[in-house]
Amino acid sequence: MNPEAGPLRFSLFTLFPELLLPFTQEALLGKAARQGLLAFDVIQLRDFAGNRHHKVDSPPAGGGAGMVIRVDVVERALASLPTPPDEVILLTPAGQPFTQRLAEQLSERQHLALLCGRYEGFDTRVERLATREVSIGDYVMMGGEAAAACIVEAVGRLRPGVIGDAESHRADSFSSGLLDYPEYTRPPVWQDETIPEVLLGGNHAAIERWRRDQALARTLARRPDLLPNAGLSPEDSRTLLALGATVEQLQHWHAPPPPSPKRRRRSPSSSPL
């Protein structure tokens, strides 16, 4: 990526700016903003209510509980940006799952707008103002702010210079598609648990192989669903067999992943929604 392109800008639209400000001001994201690597605007949706009471919501058409955020408010809020963003991301549990792959794609953009809902949600016509809808997992939260914080954290750290070399190396280790290997530091013995000999021996090739094997063992035990996309080498396969994986499982993990629903061709008989 071209660092001349300037900072990655996040425009975060919310009814609760105080929830998001710390993520944009503290720790590594705050430092990156001060260095000009990232830029944040936290924008109060209420400022675009267009009425004296700053009211952004109305009861749902057709009746029912709760309140719904008006589409015209969101339209005016987005129109207030000096330039149109590359993406307008609507945060909703009904969105596409947020993954490391999507984080990588978003980190290549220059300007991302994120829309955080509250209450019963947005008028569905807000979808027409969005380039995509994103969910951070299969559970329901009371608003999109925590999801926006997750996205800013995962995307921001992928921009050059935002995290140090050490962490950047670890990032590669997750991007490998496996869970991370375990780390140890002083003291050498704690509650009868010692640091593995290999880590104290200074044989860097042996340490590298041990870490790969640990990553494979943890992924096999905790998240076997990640293995089909992990790009396993023949040596990895031997390790997994030794760890108790079956030949059938290995064949499954080496099979090319199924086509994504978007790319699969619709058969003439399959009916649309």
Task: Select from 75-83, 129-137, 175-183, 245-253 the region that touches ligand 6GU (CB under 6 A).
Answer: 129-137
Catalytic option among 7, 60, 93, 224: 93
Q: Is position 139 annotated in a ligand binding site?
A: yes
Verify binding: residue 92, ligand 6GU, rule CB under 6 A. yes
Among 19, 39, 141, 199, contact with ligand 6GU (rule: CB under 6 A): 141
24-39 residues labelled b (16+ CB within 10 A) or e (exposed): beeebbbebbeeebbb
Is 170 a catalytic site residue?
A: no
Q: How far is the CB of 45 from ligand 6GU (least distance, A)?
A: 15
Verify binding: residue 139, ligand 6GU, rule CB under 6 A. yes
Verify binding: residue 140, ligand 6GU, rule CB under 6 A. yes
Residue 241 contacts by C-beta under 8 Å, 6 or more apart in sequence? 247, 250
Closer of 74 and 215 to ligand 6GU (Cβ): 74
Q: Is position 43 annotated in a ligand binding site?
A: no
Closer of 140 and 273 to ligand 6GU (Cβ): 140
Is 93 a catalytic site residue?
A: yes
Q: Interaction with ligand 6GU in 145-204: which residues (CB under 6 A)?
A: 147
- Which residues contribute to the annotated binding site for S-adenosyl-L-methionine? 117, 136-141
By annotation, the residues acting in catalysis are 93, 120, 157, 172
Which residues contribute to the site for ligand 6GU (CB under 6 A)? 91-93, 135-137, 139-141, 143-144, 147
